[in-house]
Amino acid sequence: MIVVMMGVSGCGKTTVGRLLAKRLNWAYYEGDAFHSAENVAKMSKGISLDDVDRGPWLASIREAIDKCADSGSDAVIACSALRRKYRRILAAGIADVRFVYLKGDFETIKERMVSRGRHYMKATMLESQFSSLEEPDDAIEIDVGNAPQDIVERITSQLTEAAKPR
């Protein structure tokens, strides 16, 4: 199974994703690590990425998903996957990709972003993230207002339930 932790910047994808991967003893991949230096520089200047910028990034993440699927390895991947078309790219043809949507309101997320400091994605870009977001209707949806450990418990429980034969 491949679990893609998705949501706007600052929602907790990295924190929760790492905790979930550790809990399940699965590999963890940080979506930000797949960005090109040009994309990071652009975002560091407060410039939002467009679909052209995101294309190679999504392709790199998809390559990691393919490698995991081909080898039968389970993994957790943190990736904003804000739009439906991005999620289709990531999951196309792979039966066992699950999206976990870490959902939070603008003010909560902005507060988190302001307090985290060193990340290249600044709180000033959050509005563009929310305007790009197409909320999924086929994901496990988790409120980010809970503690990370509680979020991991909820995700684990829902993944277990989803994996049961019907």
* Higher per-residue confidence, 43 vs 81: 81
* Alpha carbons 137 and 84: distance in angstroms, whole number: 10
Span 13-37, mean pLDDT? Answer: 96
pLDDT number for residue 116: 61
Both tokens of 81, joined, read 């996957």
Q: Is a pLDDT exceeding 70 seen at residue 117?
A: no
For residue 16, give the H/E element and its range: helix 13-24
* Higher per-residue confidence, 141 vs 127: 141
Q: Which domains does the chain have, with CATH numbers?
A: 2-157 (3.40.50.300)
> pLDDT (tens digit, 9 = 90+) per residue, 55-113?
999 999 999 999 999 999 999 999 999 999 999 999 999 989 999 999 999 999 888 77
Residue 56 exposed, middle or buried by CB count within 10 Å (0-12, 13-18, 19+): middle
Q: Which of 66-70, 114-118, 162-166 has the highest mean pLDDT?
A: 66-70
pLDDT number for residue 110: 85
- Furthest CA-CA distance within the chain: 49
pLDDT band at residue 52, thresholds of 50, 70 and 90?
Answer: very high
pLDDT number for residue 40: 87
Determine what percent of the chain is predicted with pLDDT higher than 90: 70
